[in-house]
Chains A and B, each alone.
Chain A
Amino acid sequence: MNWQEIEKLLDKYFEGDTSLEEEIRLREFLSVEEIPKKFQGMAAYFSFMQSEASRHLDKAGFDHQVIAGSPGKKPAKIIKFRQQWYYWASGVAVSIMILVAVFVKFDPFSPRIEDTFQDPQVAYEEAKKILYFVAGKFSHGTSHLEPVTRLETGLKRLNPVATYDDGLNEISRLNHIDKASKLISTN
């Protein structure tokens, strides 16, 4: 076969019309030492494909692992994030429901109030004493809040700022002039 014939065969090859036998012949012709530059690229392609065909899986113990059915690295079952989220949420929801049910039924944390007073009058006096004590503490606490009232006087001084807003409204009328001038310019 001469180079002209090889070229023809290559054209047939690119069209997907060559038989396996023709392809083998083509590969053999292109594996000779002296190849015209024109065919060197395709010669490299055929030689690459042939070297790829000789690749082998050389993993030690592969057959044994297949037959034993215990792969060294079993692919982890992929649980999608969304599924995981549902698992967690439903778990948490159920736990909360059980806890609520238990608390409603048995109510273990509410303090049990027992009346230690025999005489209502004594109880009243005691309660009054405690309330006075709390009220005293409370009024003492509010005295520290006096400086807050000064803030209010300060705010009053800021009132004139509101007039600035009115001024802005006035200026906004200028927009009409702007619109009008645009209309004039487009017409």
Chain B
Amino acid sequence: MSPEEFKIQVLPLKHKLYRLSLRLLGGMEDAEDIVQDAMIRMWQKKEDLANYKNVEAFAMVMTKNMCLDRIRSKSYQTERLASTYDVPVLRNPEEIMVKTDLARLIYKIIDGLPEQMKVIIHLRDIEGLEYQQIADIMDMNINAIRVNLSRARKKVRDSIYKIQDYELAGN
């Protein structure tokens, strides 16, 4: 792959890789570092990238694995006290209070899922990938992806319903 092709095909993936890292690591700085490392590695072997059938899937797998390595590293475990949710910019200031609280809750629910489910629900419900693409990234079969996705969604749903019931009960 030529430098020009890399700039057009690979560099724009940085946002997608960043979102995945953010989902797994929580911190913006950590996520940026991982994406930068992943991009540099790919830049260094850009000549070989053309051999990959799906560069995007390759980049996602690489980033996911780097994040998981980071999570398992001792330094990360001692550094990470609690995952924080950085609130994205909301358009309507009046809604900020309510939406931020809900967003925080939903963020926490997803963050509490096991890593595999977290990645699968992220790839489907945020990135909107097809089952086959997710199966390639996760190195699992489509059926296993569906089962895990369903479990993840149900877990999220149950937690959301619990909060909803609590609010409907007059709190």
A34–B33 Cα gap in the complex (Å)?
A: 42
SS class, residues of chain A in contact with chain B: helix
- Tally of chain B residues near chain A (CB < 8 A): 49
Which residues does chain A contribute within 8 Å of B126, judged by CB atoms? 49, 52-53
B88 pairs with A52, CB closer than 8 A: yes
Find out whether the CB atom of A56 lies under 8 angstroms from the CB atom of B15.
yes
Which residues from 20 to 52 on chain A have a C-beta closer than 8 Å to any C-beta of chain B? 20, 23-24, 37-38, 40-42, 44-45, 47-49, 51-52
- A49:B19 contact, CB within 8 angstroms: no
A62 interface neighbour in B14, B149, B168, Cβ under 8 Å:
B14
> Measured between C-beta atoms, what is the minimum distance from B38 to chain A in Å?
9
A3 to chain B: which residues have CB within 8 Å?
none
A67 within 8 Å of B (CB atoms): yes
Contact A44 B40, CB 8 Å, known A53-B127, A73-B33? no
| Distance in angstroms between the alpha carbons of A17 and B154 in the assembled complex | 13
A-chain residues with CB within 8 Å of residue B150 when the two chains form the complex: 14-16
Q: Which of B18, B32, B33 lies in contact with A75, CB distance below 8 A? A: B33
Q: In the assembled complex, which residues on chain A have CB atoms less than 8 Å from the CB atom of B22?
A: 55
Q: Interface residues of A toward B: which range?
A: 35 or more
B112 interface residue (CB < 8 Å to A) = no
Closest A residue, CB atoms, query B101? A44
- Interface check A59, CB cutoff 8 A: yes
A16 close to B156 (CB less than 8 A): no
Asked if B7 lies at the interface with its beta carbon under 8 angstroms from chain A, I say: yes
Contact of A48 among B15, B39, B106, B168 (CB under 8 A): B106
Q: Which of A23, A40, A53, A57 contacts B35 (CB 8 A)?
A: A57
The answer to whether A16 and B146 have CB atoms under 8 Å apart is: yes
Give me 14 A-to-B residue pairs in the complex whose CB atoms sit less than 8 angstroms apart, sorted by A's number. A15-B150, A37-B168, A41-B163, A42-B160, A45-B160, A49-B125, A52-B126, A57-B17, A57-B18, A57-B32, A62-B36, A67-B7, A67-B43, A78-B73
